[in-house]
Amino acid sequence: MGEGELIWMMAMLMALQAFGIDAILPALDDVGLALGAPGNERQFVIGVYLLTAGLGALIPGALADRFGRRPIVLASIGVYIALSLASALVTSFEALLAVRAAQGFFGAGIVALPPAIIRDRVGGDKMARMMSLIFVIFLMVPAIAPSIGELILTIGDWRAIFLAMAVQGAIVAAWVYFRLPESLAPQNRQPIRPRAIARNMGAAMSERSAIGYIFGSTVVFGALFGFINSSQQLIAEGFGRPDIFPVVFGICAGSMALASWSNSRIVERFGARRVSHTAVFAFIAVASVQVYFAFSHEETLWEFVPLMAINMALLGFIGSNFGSIAMTPFFHIAGAASSIQTFVRMTSAALIGAAIGQAFDGTARPLALALLASGVACLLLILFSEKGRLFAPPQAQQRYPSGMRS
């Protein structure tokens, strides 16, 4: 498989999760009315999926290090399809949450394994470039998914959105089955022994050069999840424009896709550290302006949207670069490293995002404060990993921590 096809395939694999989250956003009011979920409770349709996807990420990496990437990816897609169909058949809100929780947990391989598959081939700044291109394609989905969900609602009800998820999963499954080769080298297969798995995951979470980037991306994406959780209510109720919610969400998500494309063009020249560190400082500056507008007067939608789009664009320069830096030292245990890092990022970010979403008070103030706090925390975590030195040049060497054994 060529690099271009691999990038597209990994992007569409990860996009299954993005579509499963964002396509249902325009229908949250309908879901709430149909299944009796008032107020902020409707956000749990999104939040529970994000949380259990993070919890489930612990499993596929260890299995993929033993049995290979391909069979675990296909099994994850199969679960995604089956539970999308089950979501369309539920008759209570509690049942929907249970099915969504199972879907996130058992289908976590669709997000946990693409970084490992890429790491099997490349590392360092080249991996950052490829992950940026994957994020460009991947982020097109949340940019258009609410509009697709809105379109589906014109010809069906909210259950049809889950049927569309199953169809998308079937298409990606066929592509993976016929075209994806196994990327795990035989000599890198790891036995399924709890001690070995725990040791490998421990190594992936104890390397100082990686840990700040793992938790740094966690806090900033937690703030992003807070926006996703509350976005429909914020636009519809806070700013009183439910009619243009898909457009607003598309502008914000589209800015991340554009930024990821830009990152892919510059990261190998300037280095993942230089680009992402600059983006963190800019993120803090823009979040400070968001706090000012949110608290100084009655903020308008057209003050909120440009600033939110800019900060989401900056996340496009942070996410793939942070992920690549955090994965670079772990070539021989890429599956376990990808799993534990995805677990930490997803579960922690989902909890942060849920807290921010539940703090929604009809204004953008809780979100603005969360964005600023997350940016500052991210900077402090990077300083820890880099021992106080920022803006390092492109990394030519790959280091492998001691203690990683099978």
Buried b (16+ CB within 10 A) or exposed e, 352-386: bbbbbbbebeebbbbbbbbbbbbbbbbbebbeebb
- DSSP symbols for 92-136: SHHHHHHHHHHHHHHTTHHHHSHHHHHHHH--HHHHHHHHHHHHH
What's the pLDDT score for residue 394?
61
Per-residue pLDDT, 396:
42
pTM over 0.85: no
Length of the chain: 406
Predicted pLDDT of residue 400: 42
DSSP notation for 118-129: HHHH--HHHHHH
Burial class (CB in 10 A: 0-12, 13-18, 19+), 170: middle
Q: What pLDDT sits at residue 305?
A: 94
What is residue 406's predicted lDDT score, i.e. its pLDDT? Answer: 38
Q: In tens digits, what is the pLDDT along the chain, a chain of 406 residues?
A: 788 899 999 999 999 988 988 899 898 889 988 998 877 888 899 889 988 988 888 888 878 888 999 999 999 999 999 999 999 999 999 999 999 999 999 998 998 888 889 888 887 777 778 887 887 777 778 778 888 999 999 999 999 999 999 999 999 999 999 999 998 888 888 777 788 778 888 888 888 889 999 999 999 999 998 998 889 889 988 999 888 888 898 898 889 888 888 888 888 888 889 999 999 999 999 999 999 999 988 889 999 999 999 999 999 899 888 988 888 888 777 777 877 888 888 889 989 998 998 899 889 999 999 999 999 999 999 999 998 889 877 654 444 444 444 3
The secondary element (H helix, E strand) that includes residue 81 is helix 69-87
CA distance 368 to 180: 42
In 10 A of CB 312, how many CB atoms?
25
Q: Which candidate, 322, 316, 221, 325, places its Cα nearest to that of 263?
A: 316
